[in-house]
RNA sequence: GGCGCGGUACCCAAGUGGUAAGGGAGAGGUCUGCAAAACCUUUAUGCGUCGGUUCGAUUCCGACCCGCGCCUCCA
């Protein structure tokens, strides 16, 4: 399978293949570590994860680089407000970010690179640009990129520099520049403030510089794909292209992948709207990591996703259906052999699944193909018409589905437990859903003892007592299910 | 003002020039001491409005209405 993916740069669907015929080299803009990540951030990281997992499924090896922006104005401001050096401030949010990725089953990129560890590369880039007369230093020590030296500016976001001048809000700041649109490469900082002493003067990097420097450090001057949220397209990615291509004379990234913003309850997420959620917020409200993952992946990346709690509930039920079916398949005692019709149905589902992903990562359609198979599998199981080879084919497709979606294998307990721990350590226990704490208060052994007590009552046909125990446990968020093979229970 | 996206059943959502995937929820059924869970069945003559092209449009074209995003730090 070859992945056909929309390319912002070309404005059309392009096949995504490694230029060198071996490894697909991709760079994804990572977080600025000044706060906990919110679900909007994670939609993008999840979609990039889905992209790399799809490439793996299609047999394309990937070298994925992600930056960690650990120096910028907000970090400096927040660290100063907290009264600690930025080197002590950022690691905690970097770790929180990595923990969150793990909670969401996001695969770690091959390379994670911190901005502050690549100052020399950035300085070198500025020097290259200066040598080509594409960068200049102002009297106050700042370095700017000379936009007029790069005629291609705007080719990614399809913006016309002339058109932008009128109407648009042009930022005016205190610095002197040749042109108001020239952007900062390097910001001079006085002694005492965060900065590095370098051949181009004391200062700190502008936002765009780090991505160019690190992408080229780990992927070369020209590479396959560059990813990020749609908001980064302009000006961030446009500026990366300008400074990189001016310095090397080569095409920077061939393919640009942009994930649309998500909305929360129909509005852009913002703290002032009161619709701003971190991953931790959701886990502490009792939503499972897998449900959050599926909810954020189910709407194709080029569409706006309206995030709601109903959507999370929907995802939770959908995952239950998948997990129940997978467990049912594994547990079934089946005669050996295969049914041609069933094998054909599974093959058709596989084909639909793969084609949907290959068609610009159409996750909604890919999901539908799997559910169609689930329905057919359940029918065959109910009719005692499923045979071993049918089952194996279905399990194989479920595995492939999960190698991309990663929601069937149940790893939900740990993220929730970790979130509760975090809340406890940060004095935020009051934001934890009561059932989570209640369920946490009983050990598995205690629950088993209560269930045994209920089983005894049931055998004595004392249903009143049995139902009482069931209700008590339910109040603690522990749900019982009687089945032929005994009582199953789960924490809500 | 410039650029762009979307309006499909109760909710989410895919899709095609030839008559509407999938998930959730609701309803009915099977199972059960009762529940729950699970499974099955079922739910849009209709795809924002109005025109046009066509044998035929939800799908193409035009106009309009509504919602949203970017153009500024932002995933």
- A311-321 per-position pLDDT tens digit: 999 999 999 99
Return the closest-CA partner of residue A295 out of A311, A306, A278: A311
Any atom of strand B under 7 A from CB of A236? Answer: yes
Percent of chain A with pLDDT over 70: 97
Question: Nearest nucleotide (C1') to the CA of residue A382?
Answer: B39
Asked whether A254 and A55 are in contact (CB, 8 A), the reply is no
Q: What percentage of chain A exceeds 90 in pLDDT?
A: 79
Does the CB of A477 sit below 7 A from strand B?
no
A417-451 pLDDT tens trace: 999 999 999 999 988 988 888 777 788 899 999 99
For residue A178, is pLDDT > 90? no
d(CA A319, CA A330): 17
| First-to-final CA distance of chain A | 40
**A445 CA to B22 C1' distance (Å):** 40
Residue with tokens 């404005």: A11
Report the distance from CA of residue A366 to the C1' of nucleotide B59 in Å, as an integer.
Answer: 21
Q: Does the pLDDT of residue A325 top 50, yes or no?
A: yes
Average pLDDT, stretch A85-95?
Answer: 95
Task: Tell me the CA–C1' distance in angstroms for A293 and B18.
Answer: 38
User: Does the C-beta of A32 come within 7 A of strand B?
Assistant: yes
Q: Which of A179-188, A216-225, A360-369 has the lowest mean pLDDT?
A: A179-188
Q: Which of residues 427-466 of A touch strand B (CB under 7 A)?
A: 458, 463, 466
Q: Say which residues have a Cβ less than 8 Å from residue A445's Cβ, sequence separation at least 6.
A: none
Reduced to 3 states, what is the DSSP secondary structure of residue A167? coil
A237 touches strand B (CB under 7 A): no
- ipTM > 0.85? yes
Cα A187 off chain centre by: 31
Q: In order of start, what are the domains of chain A with their CATH numbers?
A: 3-259 (3.40.50.620), 268-405 (1.10.730.10), 433-491 (no CATH)
pLDDT of residue A434: 84
The residue that leads in pLDDT, A459 or A165, is A459
The pLDDT score that the predictor gives to residue A167 is 36
In the complex, which nucleotide's C1' lies nearest to the CA atom of residue A302?
A: B5
Cβ contact A187 with chain B strand, < 7 A = no
Q: Could you say which nucleotides of strand B lie within 7 A of any protein CB atom?
A: 1-6, 11-15, 21-25, 32-41, 67-75
> Is strand B in 7 Å reach of the CB of A364?
yes
Give the model confidence (pLDDT) of A253-307 as tens digits.
999 999 999 998 888 887 777 788 999 999 999 999 999 999 999 999 999 999 9
**Residue count (chain A):** 492
Rounded Cα distance between A297 and A388, Å, is: 32
Q: What pLDDT is stored for residue A111 in this prediction?
A: 98
Residue A410 to residue A477: CA distance in whole angstroms: 19
- Which has the minimum average pLDDT: A63-72, A108-117, A266-275, A461-470? A266-275
Res. A176: pLDDT tops 80: no
Nucleotide at minimal C1' distance from the A262 CA: B75
């Amino acid at each position: 399978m070859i992945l056909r993916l929309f390319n912002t740069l070309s404005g059309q669907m392009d096949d995504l293949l490694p230029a060198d015929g071996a490894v697909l080299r991709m760079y994804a803009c990572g977080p600025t570590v000044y706060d906990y990540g919110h679900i909007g951030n994670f939609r993008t990281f999840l979609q990039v994860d889905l992209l790399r997992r799809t490439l793996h499924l299609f047999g394309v090896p990937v070298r994925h680089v992600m930056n960690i922006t650990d120096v910028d104005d907000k970090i400096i401001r927040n660290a100063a407000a907290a009264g600690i050096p930025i080197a002590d401030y950022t690691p905690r949010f970097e770790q929180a970010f990595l923990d969150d990725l793990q909670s969401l089953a996001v695969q770690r990129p091959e390379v994670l690179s911190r901005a502050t560890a690549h100052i020399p590369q950035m300085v070198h880039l500025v020097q290259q640009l200066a040598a080509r007369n594409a960068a200049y230093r102002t009297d106050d020590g700042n370095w700017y990129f000379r936009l007029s030296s790069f005629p291609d500016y705007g080719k990614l976001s399809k913006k016309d520099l002339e058109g932008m001048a009128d109407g648009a809000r042009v930022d005016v700041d205190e610095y002197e520049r040749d042109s108001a649109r020239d952007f900062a490469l390097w910001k001079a900082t006085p002694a005492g403030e965060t900065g590095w002493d370098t051949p181009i003067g004391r200062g700190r990097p502008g936002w765009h510089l780090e991505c160019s420097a690190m992408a080229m450090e780990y992927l070369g001057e020209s590479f396959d794909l560059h990813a990020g949220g749609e908001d980064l397209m302009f000006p961030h990615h446009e500026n990366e292209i300008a400074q990189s291509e001016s310095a090397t004379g080569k095409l920077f990234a061939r393919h640009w992948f942009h994930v649309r913003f998500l909305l929360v309850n129909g509005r852009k997420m913002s703290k002032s709207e009161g619709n701003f959620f971190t991953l931790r917020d959701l886990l502490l409200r009792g939503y499972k990591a897998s449900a959050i993952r599926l909810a954020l992946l189910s709407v194709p990346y080029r569409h706006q996703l309206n995030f709601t709690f109903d959507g999370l509930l929907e995802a939770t039920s959908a995952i239950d259906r998948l997990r129940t079916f997978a467990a049912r398949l594994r547990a079934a005692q089946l005669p050996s052999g295969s049914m041609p019709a069933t094998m054909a149905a599974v093959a058709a589902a596989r084909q639909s699944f793969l084609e949907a992903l290959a068609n610009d990562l159409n996750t909604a359609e890919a999901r539908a193909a799997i559910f169609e198979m689930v329905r057919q599998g359940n029918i065959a199981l109910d009719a005692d018409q499923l045979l071993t080879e049918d089952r194996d084919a279905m399990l194989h497709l479920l595995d492939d589905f999960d190698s991309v979606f990663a929601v069937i294998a149940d790893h939900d307990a740990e993220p929730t437990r970790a979130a509760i721990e975090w809340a406890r350590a940060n004095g935020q226990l009051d934001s934890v859903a009561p059932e989570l704490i209640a369920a946490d208060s009983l050990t598995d052994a205690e629950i088993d003892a209560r269930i045994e007590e209920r089983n005894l009552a049931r055998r004595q046909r004392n249903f009143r007592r049995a139902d009482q125990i069931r209700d008590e446990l339910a109040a603690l968020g522990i749900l019982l299910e009687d089945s032929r093979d005994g009582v199953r229970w789960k924490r809500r």
